[in-house]
Amino acid sequence: MINSLPEVQRENKFRRLHKNPRLLKALIQSTPTKENNYYQVSISEDLGFQLRTYEWYEVDAKTFTIKYFDVASGKSMTLSEKRKLNKKKQ
């Protein structure tokens, strides 16, 4: 699901056009627990000697709703909120 997000698809399309062999991939970092009913998923690039992480997401284990997770603030937001925020920055 995360690999299918337009943001990830757009970046990987750009990388393919520029012959970059390192595509971004979703990696499950943690699975649901009794306290948190979501998967934590990172968007990462494997450099061979280093794993570079760009974004974090939370996926609800029951509804499969995806939220963006801001590591710096420790807060989640919906994808539409994140996309609106990105448009304002442009």
User: Residue 53's closest CA among 66, 74, 71, 73?
Assistant: 71
Which helix (H) or strand (E) covers residue 16, if one does?
helix 6-17
Query: pLDDT value at position 59?
Result: 97
Measured distance CA(86)–CA(90) in Å, rounded? 7
Report how far residue 6's alpha carbon sits from residue 2's, in angstroms, rounded to the nearest whole number: 9
As a whole number of angstroms, the distance between CA 3 and CA 52 comes to: 16
Q: Answer whether residue 3 shows pLDDT above 80.
A: yes
Q: Which of 60, 51, 1, 63 is nearest to 26 (CA)?
A: 1
pLDDT tens sequence across 23-71: 899 999 999 999 999 999 999 998 889 999 999 999 999 999 999 999 9
pLDDT band (50, 70, 90) for residue 13: very high
Residue 32: what pLDDT? Answer: 96
Q: What are 69's strand-pairing partners?
A: 56, 76
Residue-level pLDDT at 48: 86
